[in-house]
Structure 1
Amino acid sequence: MLNLIKKKIALIWAKKHVAEAFTFQKNAVEDQEKLLLSLVKTAEKTLFGREHQFENIHAISDFQNKVQIADYEDLKPYIEKVKKGQRNILWTETPQYFAKTSGTTSGSKYIPISKEGMPFQLNAARSALFHYMAQKNNSDFVSGKMIFLQGSPELEEINGIQTGRLSGIVAHHIPNYLQKNRLPSQQTNLIEDWETKVDEIVKETEKENMTLISGIPPWLIMYFEKLIERNGKKITNLFPNLQLIITGGVNYEPYREKMEELLGGKVDTLQTFPASEGFFAFQDNFEKEGLLLLTNHGIFYEFIPLEEYGKPEAKRLTLGEIELNKDYALILTTNSGLWAYSIGDVVRFISKDPFRILVSGRTKHFTSAFGEHVIAFEVEEAMKATVEKFPAQITEFHLAPEVNPSEGLPYHEWLIEFEKEPENLDDFRKNLDDEMRKRNSYYDDLISGKILQPLIITALKKKAFQEFAKSEGKLGGQNKIPRLANDRKIADFLEKFKISFSTS
């Protein structure tokens, strides 16, 4: 009876929330300008505000003239002052938290989360669930057990500022009414070694009534495989009431076939776009492509056309100026004190009413050794189209250029860990190359002009990518493998896992 009441109340809340959400969707462009000016006014007396003449900013154009695009290295001197206990630096108050992330060039990054910013992280996650419940007209999952495959909730202090991984920080804010439904236990969550942790999570959850499971796809797959290995059952047989999978961090599509095979039955999937810097978007319609951009969650967005990113005079577009089906570097100004901050993600709008996006790549993850500028979205879509045509399953893959082959023309090498190899690997390779040529005209020109030979596939042994992640100290949590690179660092590591090599 209590569960029935809980489900009914949750559904009432969900429908009320979704009805109210239409307001911010309709007023997004106007609200964004108001938000920026409000953020600037609030931070006028901070060190950053004084140095950038915030008192003279009265329009978006003023802001763009006075505040240059910044990455973490640009803001690091300010963050170091905050870490030393100095106040009124980037934001009016000392951050409530530092979200600690693994940087590739800067070492660990400390992303400030203000007292104002933290509720938006939590409300966005709640909003995603409310939209799902309202659309489904079903809230059954709230009565079962829920799990989020996350980092350790253990936090350290830096001059009174609680510091840890974002997922660990969020764990401290789970509402009391959900705590008794939440797994794994605190003891298991504190385990640092990821493989040991997943083994313990399997033991804790295999006999439970799991109704919601959340995490990024590679680590969900690892968890599911361990469950199946121990129990000999597909996931929907093991958890017959499993209703919802929530993913984030990477494009789900390349993992969909593998996930469906492990699940063994239909389970709804909800995609999200969270980060330490903010919770940007979620799938407001679980049956349709695209993530609803959250334009009223304390973040002002700017968008730089990807082909101009990094250039001194690059255009900085606002929400009202974007075009559909074009790739943009995402720039953020937040109520936690990040100003014109380049997060490194690339997005593509597929709708303006409301504003919906796809995450199409990373500004630093591309392949352009020959001027082709191939991005993650293109390789993922090419792989998806090819896998749909051939009876094959992909666990993970990575693209790297081979500039100086021992013989023949240079080429793109695709290092692929197959769950199930296609019957004819060469036909698979030719189809994949054709799909890439359709999606990237520069690549097509390079093949046609005999500058490059068609791509080459290298098949890898099982768990090759897990071993790479482990070697980088990035096994588990929200860490993910770059789908492509402009160098051969990852490819060289994977060399020892090669099991076959196709000929062109």
Structure 2
Amino acid sequence: MSLKAFAAKLFAKRIAKKNTDWILNPHKAQKQVFDHLIRAAITTQFGQDHNFESIQTYEDFTRQVPIRDYEELKAYVEKIIEGREDVLWPGKPIYFAKTSGTTSGAKYIPITKSSIKNQVEASRNAILNYIHETGNADFVNGKMIFLQGSPVLEDKNGIKLGRLSGISAHYVPSYLQKNRLPSWETNCIEDWETKVNEIIKETEKEDMSVIAGIPSWVQMYFEKLNLKTGKKVGELFENFQLFIYGGVNYEPYRSKFENLIGRKVDSIELFPASEGFFAYQNSQKEKGMLLLLNSGIFYEFVKADDFYTENPQRLTIKDVELGVNYAMIISTDAGLWGYNLGDTVQFISLKPYKIVVSGRIKHFISAFGEHVIAKEVEEAMRLAIEETDAEVNEFTVAPQTTPKEGLPYHEWFVEFEKPPTQLEKFCSILDTSMQKQNSYYFDLIDGKILQQLKVTQVSKDGFQNYMKTLGKLGGQNKVQRLANDRKVADAIQPFTT
């Protein structure tokens, strides 16, 4: 064992012991975070506007701070952009993470000195937790690649502005700098296809041990490697041991990845966002991600089914239940208060608190009252791939409410790497799984309101070409998994076979 691997094991043991305290005392940890956030922000404009000085309990907080999304918080952010201090959090943020907005165009998410510290530590701890659990630290000796956005940052009235992954590139610890790829120059390339080609030149002959990124874009990197070298990724990189990912569910990609790699490798799922780092996979033996309860984020949860009702009930971790779909609401040390993240989660364990990401609160199909969510379609796709010989690159789902003939149906747009020998069987598995998971969908099929779903095949690289038309190729961008309208479906139609 190398000195570096030995040191990593010792450090991992220390961090695991440190984390045990808040894991075993989750309610105490969240109370401490809540109290710290309120005290720290009393003199800010937001704190004064919402009378933080009088907040003594969580119930006080819910009465004085409504749930907001970015659009409703935007007026405060604009004051920060103008140069004001002490608006949402004491002082000024050190970064704005630029993300794609909905009605307001680009969103500027504030990142403070304390919030970026928590983000960096969470990312580090995810890897250290893996080392502590498995005892495997050999990979620290190899090269590591993080497929991410450009680290080149703009200036917004003295505050650095960029994509979260680009900001994070500035925080790679010194002891990993020699192991890290690609080069700074390559990482700064904006055009994704050009960037991936340069990354291949820099990595194809290196001893790669860790590869990280959003699965769909890592898949593109793997495919190009395979095409250029004629080798499986696991053959090319004999010491490739760990895949780290976030942003989308890995399961629909897993079989394709294992084929591209030529063998199985361990993986760690992360749940980071511009607004904070919320959870990471803490076990190779169990599903789900450990919710980080001591990292400057106070969590609230609203049942997704009740979210759009007037005054929905807000819950802390004390009151959540297993298997319920919740919208996640956060208050953070970056100055986001009662903030609707937009993601939905389900708890799969309460001791410790572990979650799976189930979708987006605005991304669902309920054209007929079925309220289908991302977790359900991804599980159906996983089963269909597992039980047939199909390999799938990407997919999205939309309702077809006005078919040319017959009953309405759900239309699945699927880009196959290898189409199933029996497409009908593939469709049947998808539909049966959806009926088992979603009782409303079952009732609609059973009651002859909907017919069985249909699969429309998307041509090779169709989803990449579609994303290119949106200017969202690569980086943190990902295909919308499902929608309640036909906007994505109509846009992908030119790329179907």
TM-score range, shorter chain: over 0.9
**What CA RMSD, in Å, does the superposition of the two structures yield over aligned residues?**
0.9
1:123 aligns with 2:121: yes
Equivalenced residue count is 497
| CA shift digits 1:191-247 (9 cap, x unpaired) | 110001000001100000001000010001000000000000000100001111000
Residue identity opposite 2:459 in structure 1: K
- Aligned partners of 1:323, 1:65: CA distance in 2, in Å? 23
Matches within 5 A, 1:33-432: 33-432=31-430
- Aligned partners of 2:78, 2:66: CA distance in 1, in Å? 19
- Aligned partners of 1:195, 1:467: CA distance in 2, in Å? 11
- Aligned partners of 2:463, 2:15: CA distance in 1, in Å? 41
- Aligned partners of 1:278, 1:410: CA distance in 2, in Å? 40
Residue identity opposite 2:172 in structure 1: I
Deviation at 1:424, TM superposition (A): 1.0
SS at match of 1:274: strand
Aligned to 1:19: 17
- Aligned partners of 1:202, 1:41: CA distance in 2, in Å? 49
| CA shift digits 1:242-277 (9 cap, x unpaired) | 111000011111111111110101211111101111
- Aligned partners of 2:71, 2:51: CA distance in 1, in Å? 21
Matches within 5 A, 1:446-457: 446-457=444-455
State, as a whole percentage, how many aligned pairs show the same letter. 55
| CA shift digits 1:130-181 (9 cap, x unpaired) | 1001112121111111000000000011111011011111111111111111
More divergent stretch after superposition (384-393 vs 351-360): 384-393
| CA shift digits 1:261-315 (9 cap, x unpaired) | 1010121111110111111000111232110000000000000001011222211
Residue identity opposite 1:345 in structure 2: D
Aligned to 1:31: 29
TM-score between both structures, scaled by the size of structure 1:
0.97
- Aligned partners of 1:101, 1:313: CA distance in 2, in Å? 28
Contact 1:33-1:60 at 8 Å conserved across structures:
no
Deviation at 1:35, TM superposition (A): 1.4
Deviation at 1:15, TM superposition (A): 1.1
Contact 2:85-2:91 at 8 Å conserved across structures:
yes
Give the alignment partner of residue 466 of structure 2, picking from 462, 465, 468.
468
Contact 1:17-1:127 at 8 Å conserved across structures:
yes
Residue identity opposite 1:387 in structure 2: I
SS at match of 1:266: coil
- Aligned partners of 1:321, 1:115: CA distance in 2, in Å? 31
SS at match of 2:477: coil
SS at match of 1:486: coil
| CA shift digits 1:449-500 (9 cap, x unpaired) | 111111111111111111111111111011111110011111111212222x
| CA shift digits 1:51-89 (9 cap, x unpaired) | 111111100011011100000001100000000001111
Contact 1:87-1:93 at 8 Å conserved across structures:
yes
Aligned to 1:478: 476
SS at match of 1:324: coil
- Aligned partners of 2:283, 2:230: CA distance in 1, in Å? 33
- Aligned partners of 1:253, 1:281: CA distance in 2, in Å? 18
SS at match of 1:374: coil
- Aligned partners of 2:429, 2:216: CA distance in 1, in Å? 25
SS at match of 1:385: helix
Deviation at 1:108, TM superposition (A): 0.7
More divergent stretch after superposition (402-411 vs 80-89): 402-411
Deviation at 1:22, TM superposition (A): 1.0
Contact 1:153-1:169 at 8 Å conserved across structures:
yes
Deviation at 1:432, TM superposition (A): 1.1
- Aligned partners of 2:95, 2:373: CA distance in 1, in Å? 33
SS at match of 1:367: coil
Aligned to 1:440: 438
Residue identity opposite 2:224 in structure 1: K
SS at match of 1:124: helix
Contact 1:24-1:295 at 8 Å conserved across structures:
yes
Residue identity opposite 1:245 in structure 2: F
TM-score between both structures, scaled by the size of structure 2:
0.99
Name stretches of at least 5 consecutive residues in structure 2 with no aligned partner.
none
Deviation at 1:371, TM superposition (A): 1.0
SS at match of 1:87: coil
Residue identity opposite 1:474 in structure 2: K
Deviation at 1:33, TM superposition (A): 2.1
Name stretches of at least 5 consecutive residues in structure 1 with no aligned partner.
500-504
Q: Which 4+ runs in 1 deviate beyond 4 A?
A: none
- Aligned partners of 1:148, 1:370: CA distance in 2, in Å? 42
Aligned to 1:502: none
Deviation at 1:323, TM superposition (A): 0.2
Contact 2:466-2:495 at 8 Å conserved across structures:
no
Contact 1:7-1:139 at 8 Å conserved across structures:
yes
SS at match of 1:228: helix
| CA shift digits 1:32-52 (9 cap, x unpaired) | 122112211111111111111
Contact 2:363-2:484 at 8 Å conserved across structures:
yes
Give the alignment partner of residue 456 of structure 2, picking from 455, 458, 475.
458
- Aligned partners of 2:182, 2:449: CA distance in 1, in Å? 53
Residue identity opposite 2:225 in structure 1: L
- Aligned partners of 1:9, 1:31: CA distance in 2, in Å? 29
Deviation at 1:7, TM superposition (A): 1.1
Contact 1:305-1:329 at 8 Å conserved across structures:
yes
Contact 2:413-2:455 at 8 Å conserved across structures:
yes
SS at match of 1:303: strand
Deviation at 1:127, TM superposition (A): 0.4
SS at match of 1:111: strand
Residue identity opposite 1:125 in structure 2: S
SS at match of 2:302: strand
| CA shift digits 1:360-398 (9 cap, x unpaired) | 101111111111110000000111112211111111111
- Aligned partners of 1:286, 1:154: CA distance in 2, in Å? 35
